[in-house]
Amino acid sequence: MSLYSYYRISKPSEDKVPAEEVKSVYRKTRNRTFWGATAAYSLYYVCRMTMGIVKQPLIDDGIFTAGQLGIIGSAMLFVYAFGKFLNGFIADYCNIKRFMATGLLVSAAINFVMGVLGLLQGWLGMTAVVLFVIFAVIWGLNGYAQSMGAPPGVISLSRWFPLSKRGTFYSIFSATPYLGKSLSLILTGLIVGWAGWEYGFVFSALAGLVGACIVVFLVSDTPESRGLPSVQELSGEAPKKTDSMPTGELQKMVARHPGIWVIALSSAFVYITQYAVSNWGVLFLQKGKDFSLASATQIIAIAEAFGIAGTVLAGWLSDTVFKGNRVMPVLLSGLVCLAALAGFIFTKGSYFMNILYIAVFSLAIGVVYCVVAGLMALDMVPRKATGAALGLVGISSYVAAGIQDIVSGFLIQTPAESAAYDFTAVGWFWMASCLLCFLIPVLSWNRLRIKD
């Protein structure tokens, strides 16, 4: 069997499910696929978050500087940005089970190699410069492996769910990054504090292996591959009118329209703000507020858990409470987010006050993230061009997140990597990004929408 044949979308099964069993088999298989993909994608994030957790031990051991860690982190995000765009197109033609499992296996292998290299560094005689180059390269490769997670996960929704239910399940799936981050911060943080940073990578590798097994055993490619009718037949969806314009022309129109670039810019600042706290929050709490590694990871982990609620609530707030108005939830959540971030950055605060600051921040930024980077982008363009729109938004978001890692790293870095860290400059950088992430779409939304 060729590589192309192995990864191409499954052919319809010759063994058909009996008519009287179709509904029960469909529901069972659909639910297994959804929850399997959701659980696996959360474990993708465990394999992605390791570097953010081990920064302080790497700096304290004199292995890397904060600036070098910023470059390593940005390498993954830059590659991820372009990988996500490319794999979005590729995954449409693929067996989502095999595609998603492969990415997670590769990511797990990379984490394992990094842990082993750390353990064998002295025995292998590697200098810090050589280790830095190796880590930057293979963590960049991890970015491509990571980009194989979201596309098949989202595609599984379109293959298994009717339009009437897709929005609800999309909001749940969109919350998985926060779940994965919470798991990683709590469990990986405990492992690092107990056994050392090298074993943080080893643990993440094991989590990735578990995730790949979940995909293999729970996820199904298409209803037809399981002997079922298509989702359109199963749900009784009526045929819909398609746009009269060719998809290619619509995509060109979207790419030329300033509105989608405004949303892409806004989403870029959302990601700068999110990744600043996710990737540097643990170090900030340790060096800027004198918390232990365990306490710092607990605070950030709790925050990520509240992000789940914000993301799930975003669609309900926008559609039900504000009757389809996208601007009001973004404005109100943005102001709350900015105030909470200011409290987190510029006040000392106790353990519980920092939990409060970061929990409110995460809840609010979850709403902004879901509405700006998701619902606004989908509302702005004709249906046939949503892929192009989300691709452009995705690239700008993760390129910005990568730039953030570099800028934050060098703003935080001290000349001699002493304990006297100054987070003032980077704090204002994060605050400015938070302000722009909601101010830009609020001021521009009504003028820049593209009508379907």
Task: Give strand pairing partners of 8.
Answer: 94
Query: What are the distances in angstroms from CA 56 to CA 135, 279, 401, 403, 436?
Result: 16, 11, 20, 20, 29
User: What is the structure's pLDDT at 451?
Assistant: 47
DSSP string, 107-171: HHHHHHHHHHHHHHHHHHT--HHHHHHHHHHHHHHHHHHHTTTHHHHHHHHHHHS-HHHHHHHHH
Percentage with pLDDT > 70 across the chain: 86
User: What is the structure's pLDDT at 399?
Assistant: 84
> Which of 121-125, 227-231, 236-240 is most confident?
227-231
**412-450 pLDDT, tens digit each:** 876 554 556 788 899 999 999 999 999 998 888 766 554
Q: What residue has token string 């293999």?
A: 216
Cα–Cα dist 307/88, whole Å = 25
**296-327 pLDDT, tens digit each:** 888 887 776 787 788 777 767 766 777 767 78
Q: Are 274 and 398 in contact (CB under 8 A)?
A: no
Give the single-character DSSP code of 360.
H
Q: What dihedral do alpha carbons 110, 113, 115, 116 form, nearest 10°?
A: 170
DSSP string, 363-394: HHHHHHHHIIIIIIHHHHS-GGGHHHHHHHHH
State the burial class of residue 447 (Cβ atoms within 10 Å of its Cβ: 0-12, 13-18, 19+).
exposed
Backbone torsions φ then ψ of 8, nearest 5 degrees: -70, 160
Residues 6+ apart with CB under 8 A from 163: 237
Residues 6+ apart with CB under 8 A from 227: 12, 13, 15, 16, 17, 25
Cα–Cα dist 270/22, whole Å = 43
**363-381 pLDDT, tens digit each:** 999 888 888 876 677 666 6
Structural domains of the chain sorted by starting position, each given as residue range(s) with its CATH number in brackets: 24-235 (1.20.1250.20), 244-452 (1.20.1250.20)
Cα–Cα dist 22/422, whole Å = 62
Which residue type is seen at 432?
A
Cα–Cα dist 150/96, whole Å = 10
Q: State the pTM of this model.
A: 0.74
Cα–Cα dist 217/31, whole Å = 13
Q: What residue has token string 């938070």?
A: 434
Is a pLDDT exceeding 50 seen at residue 199? yes
